[in-house]
Amino acid sequence: MNVLVINAGSSSLKYQLLNVDTREVYAKGNCERIGIDGSFVGHEEMGGEKQKLDVALPDHKTAIKYVFDILKTVNQPIDGIGHRVVQGGWYFPQSAVITDETLGWVREVAPLAPLHNYAEADVIEICREMFPEVGNVVVCDTSFHYNMPKKAYTYALPRDVVEKLHIRKYGAHGTSHRYIWRAVNEFTGGQTHKLVSCHLGSGASLSAIEDGKDKDTTMGLTPLDGLIMGTRCGTLDPATVFYLSRVGDYSIDEIDTMMNKQSGLLALSGHSDSRDIEDGAHAGDENCRLALDMFYYRTSQLIMEMAQSMHGFDTMAFSAGIGENSSEMRLGIAKELAWMGVKIDEEKNKVRSDEVRDISAPDSKIRVLVAPTNEEYMIALDVQELLGK
C-alpha cells in the first residue's frame, strides 16, 4: 500500500510518499516559508538528488496542490493519506479515519495548538476536496499519551475549571515515542519492559513506556512543558507568567512568544542548534557550557521522573535530531546518571548508523540504545490498518 504522509506546520509542509509493505520511500520533501517571502520546495526522489525549487506559496492550499503536481512525476498511486496532527485533545485516543465529524474535532481542539491544528485541518480539507476517492487518516501526537494513569495526567486545579476547559496533560511526540517502543522491542527481542524514550530534538520530550503502554510524559497541556528545548523554556514556576505581566508589563502574547520562541537553549547560549552550542563550548564560551550542563542536568532529572512512574526502568533510548546525532549530548546525560549505574561505551557512542544500536558499557545496569525514529512509517502503518478495514 502506498501512503502519502503529510505533516503541516504553521508555515511549512513536509511530505513523504512510501510503500508500507516494502518501506520504500518514493519521494519526500518540504514546503518552507508558506505565506512568507522567499518560499521554496525541497524535493527528493528515491535515488535522485535533492532539488530546491523557488515557488510562490502564499498559503497551504497552494503548497499542497504543488505537492500533488510534483508527485505526478513519481508515477506511483496514492492509496491513502496520513496526516500528522499535533493536538487531538479529548477526541482522539487513537488514530481515526477522517470524516466531516472528525475534521470538526481537529478544529475544535485547535485552541490548544493554534499554530498547528488550524493549518493541519485546512490541509486535510484540501486533500479531501482534491481526491475524494482517497481515504484520509488523522494521527495525533497526543493519542499515545491519552490513556496514561489519571494520577499522571490530572492537574491540581479546581475541578469545574478543568472539566469546562478540558485541562490535563496531553503530551506530544506520541507517534515518535510509539515508534521508538516498537523499534526497541524488536531490537531486544521483547526483553524490554520499562523504557524511558528520549525524543531529543529542537522540540524534546521523554516518555515512560511499560510493556507498550504510556505511563507518563514530560510535555503537558502544551509542548512548552518539560525539558529545556531549542527555543522553549520548559518547566518553570507558573507564577513567572504573572510576574512578567505585572512587574515586567509584558502582554500575554509577548510572554507566549518569549517562552516558546525566545527561550531555552537559544536564550542561554545565543544558539538554538546543539551543534553550534557544542562548538561554542569547545571554544571556551561559558554561556554555551552552561547551556549544555543545564540540558544534561534537566534531562537526567526528568528521566528519573519517568522511571518513578514505572518504579524503575531497564532500558533508555535516545532518538530525534539531538538524540540520534550528538554523541556528546548522549555522553553528558549518561554521566549525570552514572550514580545509578548508567554507563555507555564511548567508542560505541561515536558510531553513526540509521539502525537501532546498543551503546551500553558491559557493566551498565541500564541498557542504553540509540533508536532512530520514523514517525512517517508509524503514521503509514496506521493508515494501512484503518483504511484496510
Is 256 tagged catalytic? no
Q: Is 120 annotated to bind ligand?
A: no
Asked whether the beta carbons of 317 and 298 are under 8 A apart, the reply is no
Q: What value does the mean pLDDT of the chain take?
A: 92
Q: Out of 56-70, 125-139, 342-356, pick the least confident.
A: 56-70
The whole-angstrom separation of Cα 271 and Cα 281 is 11
Task: Give mean pLDDT, residues 55-70.
Answer: 86
- For 151, other C-beta atoms within 10 Å of its C-beta total 8
DSSP-derived 3-state class of residue 40:
strand
- For helices 286-310 and 274-282, angle between their N-to-C axes, nearest 10 degrees: 130
Q: What is the CATH number of domain 2-140?
A: 3.30.420.40
Pick the catalytic residue: 54, 122, 141, 225? 141
Q: What is the CATH number of domain 190-375?
A: 3.30.420.40
Please check the confidence at residue 111 and state whether its pLDDT lies above 90.
no
Please check the confidence at residue 287 and state whether its pLDDT lies above 80.
yes
Report the DSSP pairing between strands 2-8 and 194-200.
unpaired
Report the sign of the C-alpha dihedral through residues 206, 208, 214, 215, in that order: negative
Q: Is 275 annotated to bind ligand?
A: yes
Report the DSSP pairing between strands 80-85 and 135-140.
parallel
Q: Is 49 annotated to bind ligand?
A: no
The pTM (predicted TM-score) of the whole model is 0.91
- The larger pLDDT score, comparing residue 10 to residue 268, is at 268
Instruction: Record the cell numbers describing residue 236, joined without a space.
Output: 518553570
Please check the confidence at residue 81 and state whether its pLDDT lies above 80.
yes
The whole-angstrom separation of Cα 236 and Cα 241 is 9
Q: Is 203 annotated to bind ligand?
A: yes
Q: Could you write out the DSSP letters of every residue in 47-74? A: TS--EEEE----SHHHHHHHHHHHHGGG
| Phi and psi at residue 194, to the nearest 5° | -130, 105
Please check the confidence at residue 339 and state whether its pLDDT lies above 80.
yes
Q: Is 375 annotated to bind ligand?
A: yes
Q: Is 322 annotated to bind ligand?
A: yes
Report the sign of the C-alpha dihedral through residues 262, 265, 268, 272, in that order: negative
167-212 pLDDT, tens per residue?
999 999 999 999 999 999 999 999 999 999 999 988 899 999 999 9
22-46 pLDDT, tens per residue?
999 999 998 888 887 888 888 888 8
Q: Is 323 annotated to bind ligand?
A: yes
Q: Is 136 annotated to bind ligand?
A: no
pLDDT at 37: 81
pLDDT at 57: 85
What is the location of CATH 3.30.420.40 in the chain?
Answer: 2-140, 190-375
